[in-house]
Amino acid sequence: MGLLDDRTAVITGGNSGIGLATAKRLAAEGAFVFVTGRRQAELDAAVKEIGDNAVGVRGDVTEPEDLDRLYRVVADHGRGIDVLFANAAVIDVARLGEITEQHLDYLLDIDFKGLVFTVQKALPLLNDGASVILNSSNANAKGSDAYGVYAAIKAAVRSLARTWASELRDKGIRVNAVSPGATDTPGLEAFAHQLLPGPDALEEFDQLTAAIPMGRRGEPDEVANAVLFLASDLSSYTTGAEIPVDGGINQI
């Protein structure tokens, strides 16, 4: 028996990185998983990796009609939602004085508005006792150069977990946040080059992450394990909380 037998999970941004690792982990514990992604080919490949108990729905969390279609597919399968992981997110950095309207809109549209409407539009399908997990970031707890807008949005996501946990308590719905630190995902190299322009970006990024107490970056599976805890009855008395998965960088 698995921890999530006969339960239904929805994961946005489930075609790669943390989202894919989590989809595979929840499916391995018995969940039927719906995953979204913007690129059909990657989404199809992800569904094959996850296995027979998975459905892919192409979509962008910044497009309300895409979210509506996602939840129609879930409903058409005759399922309510037991686990919702609002995972889809991007990272973009800019120092004060370099912030543009494009930078601000890009992060707000995906990391904040997209997350808000991912959860709001799921409400009619959320079963009593469901678990909602929001993807925050360890950046929300630490002032780091050029992370200003991104960190502020992730702090807002952390705040939403508290507010929604209170608002949904009468249905027994728990809302928590998971806050990954530096994690080896497909987008890490591109981000390193954005943060540290130059041919040695990855080497310089490695020097920055050397400050992590555990001495390494995290793996997507390690974040997935934290999401599994929050998704399952193992965390039945946990709501409004944040679980950092950051190698201790903000804890020690």
DSSP code string of the chain:
--TTTT-EEEETTTTSHHHHHHHHHHHHTT-EEEEEES-HHHHHHHHHHH-TTEEEEE--TT-HHHHHHHHHHHHHTT--EEEEEE---------TTS--HHHHHHHIIIIIIHHHHHHHHHGGGEEEEEEEEEE--GGGGS--TT-HHHHHHHHHHHHHHHHHHHHTGGGT-EEEEEEE-SB--TTHHHHHHHHS-STTHHHHHHHHHTTSTTSS-B-HHHHHHHHHHHHSGGGTT--S-EEEESTTTTT-
- Angstrom distance (rounded) from CA 130 to CA 200: 45
Instruction: Give the mean pLDDT of 154-170.
Output: 98
Residue 150 among the catalytic residues: yes
What residues does 35 pair with on adjacent strands? 11, 56
- φ/ψ of 45, rounded to 5, equals -65, -40
This prediction's pTM: 0.95
pLDDT tens readout for residues 111-161: 999 999 999 999 999 999 999 999 999 887 777 788 899 999 999 999 999
**Does 199 have pLDDT greater than 80?**
no
**Does 202 have pLDDT greater than 70?**
no
**Which domains does the chain carry?**
8-184+219-245 (3.40.50.720)
Instruction: Give the mean pLDDT of 50-70.
Output: 98
The vertex-92 CA angle with 87 and 21, nearest 5°, equals: 30
Query: What integer pLDDT is reported at residue 51 of this predicted model?
Result: 96
What residues does 9 pair with on adjacent strands? 33, 83
Instruction: Give the mean pLDDT of 99-114.
Output: 98
For the ranges 6-20, 182-196, 229-243, the lowest mean pLDDT is seen at: 182-196
pLDDT tens readout for residues 9-46: 999 999 999 999 999 999 999 999 999 999 999 999 99
Query: What integer pLDDT is reported at residue 57 of this predicted model?
Result: 98
Q: Active site residue: 71, 147, 150, 237, which one? A: 150
